[in-house]
Amino acid sequence: MPQSRFLELAAARRSIRKFKSARVEREKLDLCLEAARLAPSACNAQPFRFIVLDEPAVKEKFCAAAFRGAYAVTKFAAAAPVIVAVVSDTGKLSAWFGNQVQDTNFRLMDIGIAAEHFVLAAAEQGLGTCWLGWFSARGAAKTLGLGTGKKTEVLLAVGYPDENPAPRTRKKIKEFASYNKL
């Protein structure tokens, strides 16, 4: 395989669940947001809002609501100095069209791409992240004051890593990809 700085970055990224308490510089967060901004989206709808919680009191209140009850297993993320709530705009026409005609959730695709751009930009700057799908969307909506048509689809915990986890296993290329046939 040819040399690739992108592959080096993708291979070095890990889900980080232990963070140093050091604050994350706004310039670095802004760079990650710029990476998310550049992401492609269906019909260029950009149906997302990234709400960056880096003010300790604001973040703590959010975490108390998002990681309560059955979601307490995700509490490790409350120790991250930054939580990013990735909020979707469920009212976008492209999402409706995708669901109705194509039976494809373009909104979630768009959010996934933008969030992973954010995550990889973070990794490039030495930041650790963890995608979080297991949290109370209701608690998140309440603390963020989301109105109808807005939903927190995923959270990203962000901070300087305080662990160095081994890589998780992945399928071999031939197990998920093929040329010219199924």
Cα distances (angstroms) measured from residue 90 to each of 45, 94, 99: 11, 10, 11
Nearest to 129 by CA among 65, 82, 181: 82
> Taking contact as CB under 6 A, which single stretch among the options 11-19, 24-32, 36-44, 84-92 is the one that binds ligand FMN?
11-19
- Distance from chain centroid for Cα 11: 17
Which of 4, 15, 21, 102 forms a contact with ligand FMN (CB under 6 A)? 15
| Position 2 contacts ligand FMN (CB under 6 A) | no
Q: Which residues, 6 or more positions from 45, have their beta carbon under 8 angstroms from its beta carbon?
A: 92, 93, 94, 95, 106, 107, 110
| Position 154 contacts ligand FMN (CB under 6 A) | yes
Rounded Cα distance between 64 and 83, Å, is 12
| Position 136 contacts ligand FMN (CB under 6 A) | no
Q: Which of residues 77-96 bind ligand FMN (CB under 6 A)?
A: none
Least distance in Å: CB of 30 to ligand FMN?
A: 23
Number of residues this chain uses to bind ligand FMN (CB under 6 A): 11
Rounded Cα distance between 138 and 66, Å, is 8
| Position 151 contacts ligand FMN (CB under 6 A) | no
Which of 49, 58, 109, 131 forms a contact with ligand FMN (CB under 6 A)? 131
Q: Which residues bind ligand FMN (CB under 6 A)?
A: 14-15, 17, 74, 130-134, 154, 168
